[in-house]
Amino acid sequence: LFRNFTTPEHAIEYEATMDRVVGHIEQCSIPTIAAIDGACTGGGAVIASACDLRIATRSMRFGFPIARTLGNCLSAANIARLTALLGAGRVREIIFTCRLIEAAEAKQIGLVSEVLETSELLMERVSQLARSLMQHAPLTMQATKQIQIRLAAQQVEDRDWIVKCYTSEDFHEGLDAFLNKRMPDWKGC
């Protein structure tokens, strides 16, 4: 997909599509639960952050190593979503350093509500939680979601940075390096 990015419109459309997809998850009228087992990075981490609840196994690692790999950026909507979830300082830290948050820390900082030992226990717990939520007042859950979304909504222009990152020499270098399993040679342009 990224190999075919040759115009600013490709970058804008990609991030707009991601924002629409993730926005649909976030706007879902019923509670959403992310079951995280193993690496949850990049787009997967964005999707998990849009879910209402996140439960993980001990093998969970969450983050955005894009400053080390592709050299792209997240949209303003995704930065805002992550900032609301993790705080501005932690978002900068994990993106700048490419550090992945492990399960124990994720539980401590409220990124996940529970950490389980195995994949089987994770799926059992997610099913149990989903059945429990089905017994609760739908309007209470919908109102909570919508009010939080409204409180967090701030229209921030991000197209300039999306275009700059996705059309840069660094992005093409990062993509080539990622696909060829080598370290990128960043130039800052």
pLDDT tens digits for 30-47? Answer: 999 999 999 999 999 999
d(CA 143, CA 56): 26
pLDDT tens digits for 99-145? Answer: 999 999 999 999 999 999 999 999 999 999 999 999 998 888 888 88
- What band does 156 get if pLDDT is binned at 50, 70 and 90? low
Residue 155, pLDDT > 90, answer no
Residue 161: predicted pLDDT: 75
Residue 95: predicted pLDDT: 97
Residue 159: predicted pLDDT: 73
Residue 46: predicted pLDDT: 97
pLDDT tens digits for 45-100? Answer: 999 999 999 999 999 999 999 999 999 999 999 999 999 999 999 999 999 999 99
pLDDT tens digits for 9-19? Answer: 999 999 999 99
Counting other chains too, the contacts that 7-12 makes at CB distance below 8 Å and 24 or more residues apart are: 7/167, 8/163, 8/166, 8/167, 10/166, 11/162, 11/163, 11/165, 11/166, 11/167, 12/159, 12/162, 12/163
Question: What is the number of other CB atoms lying within 10 angstroms of the CB of residue 12?
Answer: 16
Q: What is the pTM (predicted TM-score) of this model?
A: 0.85
Residue 163: predicted pLDDT: 77
Counting other chains too, the contacts that 29-36 makes at CB distance below 8 Å and 24 or more residues apart are: 29/138, 29/142, 30/133, 30/138, 30/141, 31/130, 31/133, 31/141, 31/145, 33/126, 33/129, 33/130, 35/122, 35/123, 35/126, 36/60, 36/62, 36/112
Alpha-carbon torsion (112, 59, 70, 26), positive or negative: negative
Token representation of residue 177: 């390096």
In percent, the amount of the chain with pLDDT more than 70 equals 97
* Strands 61-63, 39-41: pairing kind: parallel
Residue 184: predicted pLDDT: 85
Nearest alpha-carbon partner for 21 in 78, 85, 91, 88: 78
